[in-house]
């Protein structure tokens, strides 16, 4: 197996070095793997995920993801657009746009005709089982349905890696299971690397590998 993520000695601090969010992370993740990240609140899980998705750059160390050296590349947008699909705890959908228009949003970063954008977005809505709700506003959807839309949006760019930060954090357990099932299905069918940050040990157990983070360091990786 080739590794898609290679991180060595990654450090990141905030507030002039007073908060060491990441304190020397070494990590390698295989292509097509399903990994969970657990740890206490404030341990640095989101920060780590953001570094992998190039939403932020570390102070020290190196991060290589899907062939991009994130410390050096100037094409961060390009990387985010082509390689990464983010799913957040809060769906962060745009309220005045319809469901399908929300899914189209990432495609504006690419050169693509409006027609093609729409077609792709509808395909993904079909995949998450929401094709019939394509035209309505997200405000009229349930929490689980909104998260499905967010997943469709994360996948529309055909990313190599899905980064999900507590994707079920605000859902009840039944809906939460459905969403996880959907993510895992997609991971298996499309062979996407899936990384989920979670507080929930039951969810964490579903992954092939578990990373435990404490005070900005990986304390366990199995």
Ligand X SMILES: Nc1ncnc2c1ncn2[C@@H]1O[C@H](COP(=O)(O)OP(=O)(O)OP(=O)(O)O)[C@@H](O)[C@H]1O
Q: Summarize as ranges the residues that interact with another protein (CB under 8 A).
A: 50, 53, 55-56, 77-82, 84-86, 88, 90, 92, 94-97, 101, 104-106, 108-110, 114, 117-118, 153-154, 157
- The DSSP output letter for 30 is E
Secondary structure class of 176 (helix, strand, coil)? helix
- Residue 43 found at the interface with ligand X (CB under 6 A): yes
Identified binder of ligand X from the candidate list 35, 38, 47, 144, rule CB under 6 A: 47
Element (H, E) at 209: strand 209-214
User: Please, how many CA atoms are within 13 Å of residue 200, restricted to the half-sphere of its CB?
Assistant: 17
| CA dihedral (221, 73, 107, 116) positive or negative | negative
Residue 44 touches which member of another protein, Mg ion, ligand X, none, C-beta under 5-8 Å by kind: ligand X
Looking at the DSSP bridge assignments, the partners of residue 7 are 27, 63
Identified binder of ligand X from the candidate list 45, 83, 146, 153, rule CB under 6 A: 45
Identified binder of ligand X from the candidate list 9, 19, 67, 90, rule CB under 6 A: 19
Q: Give residues in contact with ligand X (CB under 6 A).
A: 14-15, 19, 21, 39, 41-47
């Amino acid at each position: 197996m080739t590794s898609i993520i290679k991180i060595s000695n990654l450090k990141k601090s905030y507030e002039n070095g007073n908060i060491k969010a990441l304190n020397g992370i070494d990590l390698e993740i295989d292509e097509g793997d399903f990994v969970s990240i657990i740890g206490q609140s404030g341990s640095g899980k989101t920060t780590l995920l953001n570094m992998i998705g190039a939403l932020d750059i570390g102070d020290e160390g190196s991060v290589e993801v899907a062939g991009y050296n994130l410390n050096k590349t100037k094409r961060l947008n390009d990387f985010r657009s082509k390689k990464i699909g983010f799913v957040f705890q809060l769906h962060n959908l745009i309220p005045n746009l319809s469901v399908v228009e929300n899914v189209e949003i990432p495609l504006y970063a690419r050169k693509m005709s409006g027609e093609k954008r729409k077609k792709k977005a509808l395909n993904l809505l079909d995949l998450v089982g929401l094709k019939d709700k394509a035209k309505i506003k997200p405000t009229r959807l349930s929490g689980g349905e909104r998260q499905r839309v967010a997943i469709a949006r994360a996948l529309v760019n055909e990313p190599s890696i899905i980064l999900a930060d507590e994707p079920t954090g605000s859902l009840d357990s039944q809906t939460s299971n459905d969403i996880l099932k959907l993510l895992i299905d997609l991971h298996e069918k499309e062979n996407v690397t899936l990384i989920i940050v979670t507080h929930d040990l039951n969810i964490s157990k579903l992954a092939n590998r578990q990373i435990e983070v404490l005070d900005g360091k990986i304390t366990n990786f199995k």
